[in-house]
C-alpha cells in the first residue's frame, strides 16, 4: 500500500511539473473515449439509444479521468471553475443572468457558422434526425434524455472542453495571455472536431460555439457553472424541438 501511495504521489508531482505528463494526461483523456467508442460500436449497431448510451459512457469515463488528474494533483473541482459559492442566492442569480448572455452568444456564433459554412461548402441537405424519432411525442423519454444530457453534455462537456482543456493547455506554457489564447483556440477546434458526424457545417458551427463558450469562460472569471447553465439551455431547446418534431 505504501508503494502504491508513493507511486500515486510521484504521478501527481509529474502532472504538476512535467509537460510530458500533462500532454500524456490530455492524450489519455481522449484515448479513453476512443477505446469506448470503438469497443461499443459493434454492440450498439444501428440502435440509436444504444449508440447514444456508448457516447454517454465515453463522456462519463472522460469525466472520471479528469477527476483522477485533479485528485492526484491534490486539487478539487474548484480548480476548473466549479466553485461552491454559486449556491448562495445572490451568486445564483448572477450566474443565471450571465448564463443567458453566454447562451445568446453561443447561438449567435452558431448562426455565424451557418452563414460562413453556407458560403464555403454550400447549403447542406437537411440533417437526418430519424435516429431521434424515439423522442417524438414521447414525454417520459424526453425527461430521461434531458436528465442524461444535463449530466453528460451540459455538465460533462463544459468540464472537459472548457474547464479541463483550457486550464491544462494553458499550463503547458506559462499560463499567460498568449497561452490562454492558444488554449481557447485549440479547445474550440477540438470541440468542433468531435462533432464530425454532423458534417463540415456542424463542425464549423460547434467549433464557433465552442469559441464563444471558451471566451465566455474567461470573461466570467472561470465560473464554470455559468457555462453549464448556458449549455443546459441549448440542450433543452434542441431536445424539446425533437420532441415536437414529426417522425
Q: How many residues does the chain have?
A: 247
133-145, pLDDT tens digit by residue? 788 888 998 999 8
User: What's the rounded Cα separation, in Å, for the pair 181 and 9?
Assistant: 31
Cell 462537456 locates to 157
Average pLDDT, rounded, for the chain: 88
27-80, pLDDT tens digit by residue? 999 999 999 999 998 988 888 888 888 999 999 999 999 999 999 999 999 999
Neighbours of 245 (CB within 10 A): 13
144-189, pLDDT tens digit by residue? 989 999 999 999 999 999 999 999 999 987 767 889 999 999 999 9
Closest CA to 239 of 156, 143, 168: 143
- CB within 8 Å of 237: residues ≥ 6 apart: none
Quick check: pTM over 0.85?
yes
User: What's the rounded Cα separation, in Å, for the pair 160 and 165?
Assistant: 6
Amino acid at each position: 500500500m505504501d508503494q502504491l501511495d508513493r507511486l500515486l504521489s510521484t504521478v501527481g508531482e509529474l502532472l504538476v511539473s512535467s509537460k510530458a505528463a500533462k500532454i500524456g494526461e490530455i492524450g489519455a483523456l481522449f484515448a479513453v473515449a476512443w477505446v469506448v467508442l470503438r469497443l461499443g460500436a459493434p454492440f450498439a449497431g444501428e440502435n440509436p439509444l444504444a449508440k447514444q448510451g456508448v457516447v454517454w459512457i465515453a463522456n462519463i469515463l472522460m469525466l472520471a479521468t479528469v477527476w483522477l488528474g485533479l485528485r492526484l494533483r491534490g486539487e478539487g473541482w474548484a480548480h476548473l471553475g466549479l466553485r461552491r459559492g454559486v449556491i448562495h442566492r445572490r451568486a445564483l442569480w448572477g450566474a443565471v443572468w450571465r448564463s443567458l448572455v453566454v447562451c445568446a452568444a453561443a447561438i449567435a456564433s452558431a448562426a455565424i457558422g451557418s452563414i460562413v459554412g453556407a458560403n464555403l461548402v454550400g447549403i447542406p441537405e437537411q440533417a437526418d434526425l430519424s435516429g431521434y424519432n424515439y423522442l417524438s411525442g414521447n414525454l417520459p423519454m424526453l425527461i430521461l434524455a434531458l436528465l442524461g444530457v444535463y449530466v453528460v453534455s451540459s455538465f460533462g462537456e463544459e468540464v472537459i472542453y472548457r474547464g479541463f482543456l483550457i486550464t491544462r493547455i494553458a499550463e503547458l506554457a506559462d499560463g499567460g495571455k498568449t497561452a490562454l489564447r492558444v488554449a481557447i483556440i485549440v479547445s474550440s477546434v477540438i470541440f468542433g472536431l468531435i462533432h464530425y458526424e454532423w458534417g463540415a457545417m456542424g463542425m464549423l458551427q460547434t467549433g464557433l460555439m465552442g469559441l464563444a463558450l471558451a471566451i465566455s469562460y474567461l470573461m466570467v472569471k472561470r465560473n464554470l457553472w455559468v457555462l453549464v447553465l448556458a449549455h443546459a439551455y441549448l440542450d433543452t431547446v434542441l431536445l424539446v424541438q425533437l420532441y415536437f418534431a414529426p417522425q
